[in-house]
Chains A and B, each alone.
Chain A
């Protein structure tokens, strides 16, 4: 069974549809990238899946269960984690409080210790206010917060958007390592080539619809995708330096 099935999903923030019939499936254990130009509907789709889009029609099934009637907080309990593009931590809460505040976590203390072991920097600064963290530390905390309830599907909205170029490779390395923990990853990303390089499959959205869908390698090799959506590969990418991320 697919872990996530998106079937003819339409919707938006007002009466105007931003998503115009998006459909694809995602298999357990996959890293799946959603790429596309600005305004294609990538982040809107992520919000539709986690329950933050005000108006949605169609079917969004997680492990066979239709999510559309469920509130965002119920979707978390079903096993879906979400890291928003911006404002992805609670700035006035400490690092530890950012993790404690996540609801419905069994054996909370042990889980926090597990995550502090995964992200040692966070453990060392547990009492620091999240609002004072650097971009990279904040990103780690955002991942840790989303991982608190042990999600089976983690949705990442532009995980490298707020990072300095020097930190981007680290972020992709972290994302690739999360997949080894048994979490399926759905990633919305502007840096499509680097994202697809660590993904199993992906799709390209255009005008709120799936323009291309397939294996990540095939999308990277597709001339039309390269020309219209992915841009030219950087010298680093051509010479495969990003493979170190894997």
Chain B
């Protein structure tokens, strides 16, 4: 029975990892670099949500406020930094994103301190499902995550701008000679990436604590999930996030809470060695 509890916790953790991984894989697929600022964008979302929750005690308002604030930050990052570096190597952009990450963390640390803040959530009686305690908050958070994922996939696969994003991810030059404006696509991409990390940040904040380092700690599992799922594959990122989340939790009795993150390291290394294109990735010709 205790394993069912671990699986339940793993799904919650996996949704957080999956949302962050989806943001990373979208940016990698379209803007062509690994965005190391994704973790700190997530932290920013956690803080934005915390203040909204303190003011409203509404999950919906919290989610929307976090999305608005983090998407705006994400867009600002694009216009202030990444747009100016367009055309540079992926390594240059990666290093720039690390700089942006440190800047966000520093601003959060200076503004709100390095102490741990918590969402003041009222305790509620858990449901008992098949002998397993299920927290109503967990269910609500899972629902929010699924709605966010459904909305993100809806944007990607059912709207004109989503098709344009996927077209740019496939072939940016062909997209341009198809009349697609890259800057419009990029702006939409960064808004979407910000929204996804915002919800991940709110979920992580509600499940644990809010502190300037929480996003940095989730960054590695998120990168591992993006690679495991097949870099550039949105569905792969979410599926791999869930698998990693559950695997991490199930490993806790064996390796302890502190070292469960090592599972992500191990999975990332194994995938890179044995299946570099991941679960859903495409084989790419190299010449």
Contact = CB atoms under 8 A, between A and B. Distances in A.
A148 B169 CA distance: 21
B167 to A, nearest CB: 5
Nearest to A83: B177
Nearest to A130: B170
A51, A82, A102 interface centre (most CB from chain B within 10 Å): A102
A230 to B, nearest CB: 29
B178 interface: yes
A77 interface: yes
A50 B160 CA distance: 23
Contact of A93 (B160, B167, B177, B179): B167
Contact of B177 (A72, A89, A100, A131): A72
Given A97-B163, A100-B163, A101-B164, A77 B170 contact: no
Given A52-B176, A71-B176, A103-B180, A87 B163 contact: no
Contact of A84 (B166, B174, B182): B174
A87 B174 contact: yes
A73 interface: yes
A90 interface: yes
Given A93-B163, A97-B163, A103 B170 contact: no
A240 interface: no
B179 A50 contact: no
Nearest to A108: B160
Contacts of A90: 166-167, 170-171, 174-175
B140 interface: no
Contact of B178 (A51, A52, A102): A102
Given A72-B176, A90-B174, A101 B181 contact: no
Contacts of A91: 170, 282
A52 B173 contact: yes
Chain B interface size band reads: 10 to 19
A217 to B, nearest CB: 32
A87 B173 CA distance: 10
Contacts of A72: 173, 176-177
Contacts of B169: 92
B179 A77 contact: yes
Interface string A97-111: 100111110000000
A71, A82, A103, A104 interface centre (most CB from chain B within 10 Å): A103
A50 B174 CA distance: 11
A149 B179 CA distance: 9
Contacts of A56: none
Contacts of B282: 91-92, 131
A89, A92, A93 interface centre (most CB from chain B within 10 Å): A92
- The interface residues of chain B, by DSSP majority, are classed as helix
Contact of A76 (B163, B166, B167, B177): B177
A42 B64 CA distance: 53
Contacts of A93: 163, 166-167, 170
A93 B162 CA distance: 11
A145 B176 contact: no
A37 interface: no
A51 B170 CA distance: 19
Contacts of B170: 90-93
B179 A73 contact: yes
B179 A82 contact: no
A52, A73, A146 interface centre (most CB from chain B within 10 Å): A73
29 contacts: A72-B173, A72-B177, A73-B179, A73-B180, A76-B178, A84-B174, A84-B177, A87-B174, A90-B166, A90-B175, A91-B282, A92-B166, A92-B169, A92-B170, A92-B282, A93-B167, A97-B166, A100-B160, A100-B163, A101-B163, A101-B167, A101-B178, A101-B180, A102-B179, A103-B164, A103-B179, A103-B180, A104-B179, A146-B177
Given A76-B177, A103-B180, 14 more contacts: A52-B173, A72-B173, A72-B176, A73-B176, A73-B181, A73-B182, A77-B179, A88-B174, A92-B169, A93-B163, A101-B164, A101-B180, A102-B180, A146-B177
Interface of A: 50-52, 71-73, 75-77, 81-82, 84, 87-93, 97, 100-104, 131, 145-146, 148-149
Interface of B: 160, 163-164, 166-167, 169-171, 173-182, 282
Q: Which 4 A-B pairs have the closest CB atoms?
A: A103-B179, A76-B179, A72-B176, A90-B170
